[in-house]
A and B are shown apart, each in its own frame.
Chain A
Amino acid sequence: MPGYPPGPVHAAAHLKSRRYTQNHATAEPPSMLTHDALIRLCRARDRLRETEGRAPIADIAREAGLSPYHFIRQFAAVFGATPHQFRIDARIERAKHLLARGNHSVTDVCFEVGFESLGSFSDLFARRVGVPPSHYRRRWQVPSRVGTLPPALIPGCLLLMCGEAASAIFKKH
């Protein structure tokens, strides 16, 4: 398991971090996270990925035991994006996944990932990904068997080190 030295330190991390308590009175969120706080943020991240019945950010903050202000600050410090940005990114990622599988139309994908307007979905997708969803679908659409990943969804470095794309690159040179 990663980490140095192995084993005991991880256990110590948990014991140690539980001793810290959050100070809600300060204006800045505490930079030290307890393990419980970490778990709550992970749960909030799962909630933000939900496509049905999307909860308002304020509700998710409340579930995490934080004010919306502290929740947004703490979430961004840990995950590198505000909850709102994270939710948008998660929907775009899911859209890419569905489009690359090729079994759904752009309109289906738009509604499936929780957008209400095809126009705003296409605009946002094009801005984030660089091509409109219809192009993305055409570019990556490959017949995929159950249990296999389309090439678009396999990390590039894995392809670079082994796999078909690597062979193609090596053949080219």
Chain B
Amino acid sequence: MQYELKTQVIEPQRHTFTHVAKRFGDKPASRYLEGSIDVQPTEHFHYRPTWDPTKEIYDESFSVFRLADPYSYLDPRQYYYAPYVTARSGHHDAFGTSLEYIENRGLLGRLPDGWSAVLGELVVPLRHLESAGQLILCGMARFGYGATITQAAAYSAFDRVGNAQMISRVGIALGGGTTETLTAAKDHWMGDESLQGLRRLAEETIVEADWGVALIQLDALDQLVYDLLWSHLDDAAVTGGAPAYSLIAQHMTNWYTDNRTWIDALYAAWRADPELGAHNADLLAEHGRNAVDTALAALTPFAQRLDARLDAGALERVAATAAASLATFAADQA
């Protein structure tokens, strides 16, 4: 049995905005589409940027990667602001719960020495790498072309601040509630030989003016770093008596899996472009190869140090992941 609410029935004049209807037909559209499609201005810019008068305010030529229709790219997560912050609110809540458990049980203090060293000397310094990711993705959020692309980049930039804060909170906990570990980690980041390849790559990627190329460089490095630290080492932690590490790793992996979604979809859109697809695929292969090679070289001393501390097969793993990563960037991945 149902009860019947009487409401005035009014026929709508249209079901969505004209620009959304043009692509998807005049039917009710999602909030993601209504809040993203065609919202970036495309014509009649009044003035040239004073910092680069050869460009328009929004200009496709800020990258060699282009789409004939920028809105052929959609974020598969359909993140507009509300679902984005809702998802991240849950994510940080879950991390906070894990960290609280780790601290209440004194799990960081009970880490075997090798694990403790890896966390303090190699993992905590990577909060600076996250900070570099923030800058790189902010550049993409400004200079990218098309609101669906730049929106995903902006959220990812914000995520990097969150990642850095998660790692920093681990560092503070590891330092017994002080900033000692963070300070030591920064010294490592600045001077320790095992981290200089990463720092050099971070700085060089920040100054890369082409946002598409910069994204690939950042992504190639992420593919190696996140797999090594949060997937490969997670397994080692489970068997190696380091539950604290594993409890942290799950959250980093969850984020990485989510973040992959929008980047993989962008690569797919570049390759699938009806006009520029073949050209984009060649560019992806070329820049992807360079990026993976550079990332592997940068990460090698890091992996060697890791092996010296834990004997976890890090170097081997990084090489294997790099080979797999090269294959995904290669041109035949249509």
**Chain B associates with chain A:** no
